[in-house]
Amino acid sequence: MSDIDRRQLRKESVGTAHIVFFVVAAAAPLTAVLGASPAAFAFGNGPGVPAVYILVGLLYLLFSAGFTAMSRYVQSASGFYAYVVSGLGRPAGAVVAAVALTSYQAIALGAYGLFGFFASQSAARAGFHLSWWLAVLPLLAFVQFCGQRAVTFGGNILGVCMMGEIAILVALCCAILAVNTTPLAVTVPPASIFGRGLGIAIVFVVASFIGFEATVIFGEEAKEPALTIPRATYIAVILIAIFYGLCTWSVSIYYGAAKISAAAARDPGNLYLRPISALLGPRAQVITQALLLTSLFACVLSFHSTIARYLFSMAAEGFAPLNLGRIHVVHGSPHVAGMVQTLATLVMVAFAALGGVDPFAGLFAWAGTFASLGVLTIQILTSFAVFQFFRCKPGTTSFLKGTVAPLAAALGLTACLALAIVNLPLIAGSASHFVFLLPAGIILAALAGWAAGLVLPHPANTEKLLVPAIAESER
């Protein structure tokens, strides 16, 4: 059988652990902690930031309750697209697909830019010049190589990278707690949690949870998806919330609740590197800087796999050329879609390099802000889709999962989106007029998706891809 004849992803090839690795790797623990949390401390509610990770984690558990209940009926590599199609119709699903693809591509592009930035800095410390975009090229090639292999190959690599990131952060937390003399009960003042800056802190913290849609995107390839998908989703959300909360709590203890905001504002880049060097030694700081690069590699590999499966599904749905639905005859991966994603990233990196865009303050900051707005948008639509789906199928799940959880999640996520839009210059780190055009980009992608959903025909042979369990449940 040729790869042209293969149109289905390999069934039962990944378990809960692999999916969790993809999700947590997409969240890039080391990058998120060292990169995002200092801004939350500096501009948000200071020592209350660790509690914000728990609060946002609870919000995403509400969101997860609804869409994992729906995962019994919808298992597709098209992620939230399939959910929204089943709940709100094909045009709304096309909106989600368009916004998701542009948002995830933006995340990947921003992560490549950040990798190039750190790699260039590392080269400078070693005494030679390396342009950021030159550092990105071998990474692109290696991600493409890993992405075309079997999904378990990438999952194993992500697991190794993630363990290294987590190990250094856990070591830092333990070292801080070992020398701490402050009563733990006063390390997070209750008044700081809901005090001034809470909304801004929420915006930065929400960005740390981007990427857990991967749990449903790998549904077609999961073993026992009805059990694996909910399990992986809950584990990933809980791990991210608790781990990030622990890391930020520990660094807050190191500097002191009264000084953490000032320390983060004064030197955000070294907020964690300073205690790592002081408590774990200078070599640990060098190791951490190296792990930052592997963290970003894991992040881009995870999103490469996510985007490739989205493109694969969009080909099956008639929104993309049919060749994007080709599956590698040996590895069972959507290798053509993966190649398209790699080439698209290469073109974008080339434009950024030729345009003189700063890889950190420009590419990473703007792309990350755009992606945050887009992901919140599709999560809100998915919440309403879950509500509508179960409203039309009473008795298929509990009132809590089918009504309360999705509506509460939609309300909370809408509030987060509003806070993000209000604080756009702060999030993007720039008051440029371009930053205020980012929401317009989301709107344009949504309109393009809506038009495609109305105009392009729906291939008759793809209904089983979108809702394979619905037909069985209604027989």
Rg value, the chain, Cα: 22
Is residue 266 classed exposed, middle or buried when 0-12, 13-18 and 19+ CB atoms within 10 A define those classes? exposed
Tens place of pLDDT for every residue, the chain, 475 residues? 344 444 555 555 566 777 777 677 667 788 888 878 888 898 888 889 999 999 999 999 999 998 888 877 876 657 788 889 999 998 999 999 999 999 999 989 999 998 999 899 888 888 889 999 999 999 999 999 887 876 566 566 767 777 888 899 999 999 999 988 777 766 787 878 887 788 888 988 888 887 766 677 666 666 777 777 788 888 888 988 999 999 999 999 999 988 999 999 888 878 998 999 999 998 998 898 888 888 888 888 888 888 888 888 888 888 878 788 787 777 667 888 889 999 999 999 999 999 998 898 888 888 888 998 999 999 999 999 999 999 988 888 889 999 999 999 999 999 999 998 988 888 877 777 778 889 999 999 999 999 988 888 766 544 444 444 443 434 3
8 A C-beta contact, residue 9 and residue 334: yes
Distance (Å, whole) CA 341 – CA 104: 11
Whether 473 maps to a domain, the answer reads: no
Helix axes 438-455, 90-125, angle to 10 degrees: 140
Domain containing 359: what range?
A: 16-468
Phi first, then psi, for residue 189 (nearest 5°) are: -60, 125
Among 380, 374, 386, which Cα is nearest to 449's?
374
Among 373, 298, 262, which Cα is nearest to 114's?
298
Whether 380 maps to a domain, the answer reads: yes
8 A C-beta contact, residue 79 and residue 213: yes
Whether 8 maps to a domain, the answer reads: no
Whether 1 maps to a domain, the answer reads: no
8 A C-beta contact, residue 277 and residue 157: no
345 to each of 338, 341, 352, how far by Cα in Å? 11, 6, 10
At 210 the three-state DSSP class reads coil
Distance (Å, whole) CA 215 – CA 228: 9
Provide the pLDDT for residue 470.
Answer: 41
Number of domains the chain contains: 1
Provide the pLDDT for residue 51.
Answer: 93
Whether 11 maps to a domain, the answer reads: no
Whether 2 maps to a domain, the answer reads: no
Tell me which long-range contacts 433-441 makes (C-beta under 8 A, separation of at least 24). Answer: 434/366, 435/366, 435/369, 438/366, 438/369, 438/370, 438/373, 439/373, 441/102, 441/370
Whether 430 maps to a domain, the answer reads: yes
Give me the CATH number covering residue 249: 1.20.1740.10
Whether 453 maps to a domain, the answer reads: yes
Distance (Å, whole) CA 202 – CA 252: 17
Provide the pLDDT for residue 361.
Answer: 80
